[in-house]
Amino acid sequence: MNASGPSNPTGTALDEGSMVSTSVACVILSLSFLVGAPGNLLVIWTILKHIKLRSHTVVLILHLAVADLLVLVTLPLWIYSLASSWIFGNATCKALSYIINVCMYSSVFLITIMSIERYVAICYPLKMLGWKGLGMLYKCLGVMWFVSFLLGIPALLIHYVDVTDDGTLQCTFEMYTSVNQELFCLCLESSVGFVIPFSILAISYCQVATQLKQPHSTTKQKSIVLISSVVVAFALLWLPHHILNVIDVITLSTENSKQDFRDHFVLIAGALVFISSSVNPVLYAFAAQNFQGGLRRSGFVKLFLDIASNSLKAKENSKVQHIITHTEV
């Protein structure tokens, strides 16, 4: 997605408003790195070290943490670029833009798969009999990563380094060959990366919310609340970026010039996107408090173990229900 590199993408001189937005963006990115990088590392380490019997949800959380971490480790370079200039070369600019785009697509796809898996497990538990092992999930993940790698290719083509009006080098300039190409890229990004996935999420969670009105275990409800929080946070943090995309599509379609106010908000919207990669460990930590009463490693272990065991119990219950149904027939 074209959220990569929250630098000055228009090449306009930095006026007072741009300087303020740049400073705010640097603060947001710094906090995202300081919180998100060690947080996602802790999630990955906890699952790999302590969770031997992994459920579908835990595997998806692991892949999501990896995708988020790959995005966050690029932040020191972007922060330096915002504060000074881009000194890392054109190849690095394209490579990092590609990595960020791939991981951003994979994140929204992983959250969508996670929500669909919870929807099927709760609303159609017998269907989970076909997902007894992790083989089908790994095939889905393979396809998901492959599609993400393909969707990230435009970042290699349109991002490059150039000199801004204030004389500094910056990455993430978007060089389109035509207006139609720009419209296509913007519509593809917002439809595949936001509108379609979150339409699926909205339908899934409406059904899940209805089903949860019936008696369920407290643990299962905690698991649903956790995943729902991840979805809501992702939607809210990505919304400003896609609103700007819609504004760009409208201005391009009507052949109007882009509004100056957009330049002041694009840095903030881009920085908020990076928060989405750092917020998940915080949500896991708060969920872990329900088990251990503190933001400790043992709370993380208990949280993921509980999610894994809950998913496995749900599958066993589905199997028993399936056997009972066929016996009665």
- pLDDT tens column, 203-243: 887 777 777 665 555 555 666 677 777 778 888 888 888 88
pLDDT the model gives residue 325: 39
| Maximum average pLDDT range among 33-47, 141-155, 209-223, 299-313 | 141-155
Q: Which pLDDT score is estimated for 258?
A: 58
pLDDT > 70? residue 78? yes
Count the Cβ atoms, other than its own, within 10 Å of residue 50.
14
Lowest mean pLDDT among 24-38, 196-210, 261-275, 309-323: 309-323
- C-alpha–C-alpha distance, residues 131 and 140, integer Å: 12
DSSP 253-267: HTTPPPPHHHHHHHH
The predicted structure's pLDDT at residue 256: 66
CA distance 324 to 329: 9
Residue 151 vs residues 84, 146, 157, 184, 317: alpha-carbon distances, Å: 30, 9, 12, 12, 39
Q: Which residue has the higher pLDDT, 316 or 25?
A: 25
Rounded distance, CA 257 to CA 14, Å? 19
Q: Where along the chain do its domains lie?
A: 16-328
Q: For residue 148, name the pLDDT band (cuts at 50, 70, 90).
A: very high
Q: How many residues does the chain have?
A: 329
| More confident position, 13 or 277 | 277
Stated pTM of the model: 0.79
CATH topology assigned to domain 16-328: Rhopdopsin 7-helix transmembrane proteins (1.20.1070)
Q: What is the pLDDT of residue 327?
A: 38
